[in-house]
């Protein structure tokens, strides 16, 4: 029993030591581009083409003509008296 325990421990140690470790790869940082002095200005580009004209919209439908209103009654003929109506604001006494 002592020997089987010892052999099992030895085999476990060897099997773990035989495992392949993944290699760690460090990727170098990308170099930062440092702008140099500005070069001479280039030539002006050509003018772009004119865009196409949009389509003209449709004319809307004409609305319906409304109904004719009812004729009002004839007013009362005057009898020579004058009635003066005072607005409610002016008629109220102020304190």
Give tens-digit pLDDT for 9-53. 888 887 776 666 677 788 888 888 888 888 898 899 999 999 899
Give the whole-angstrom CA distance, residue 64 versus residue 46: 54
Give the whole-angstrom CA distance, residue 57 versus residue 64: 22
Long-range contacts of 28-34 (CB under 8 A, 24+ apart): none
Give this prediction's pTM: 0.21
Which tokens go with 69? Answer: 């209103």
Q: How large a percentage of the chain has pLDDT more than 90?
A: 11
Only one residue has tokens 């050509």, namely: 46
Only one residue has tokens 């209103």, namely: 69
């Amino acid at each position: 029993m002592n020997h089987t325990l010892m052999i099992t421990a030895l085999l476990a140690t060897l099997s773990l030591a035989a495992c392949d470790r993944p290699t760690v790869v460090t990727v170098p940082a990308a170099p930062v581009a440092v702008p140099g002095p500005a070069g001479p200005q280039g030539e002006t580009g050509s003018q772009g083409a004119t865009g196409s004209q949009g389509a003209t919209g449709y004319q809307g439908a004409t609305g319906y003509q409304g109904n004719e209103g009812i004729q009002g009654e004839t007013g009362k003929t005057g009898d020579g008296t004058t009635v003066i109506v005072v607005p409610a604001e002016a008629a109220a006494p102020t304190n």
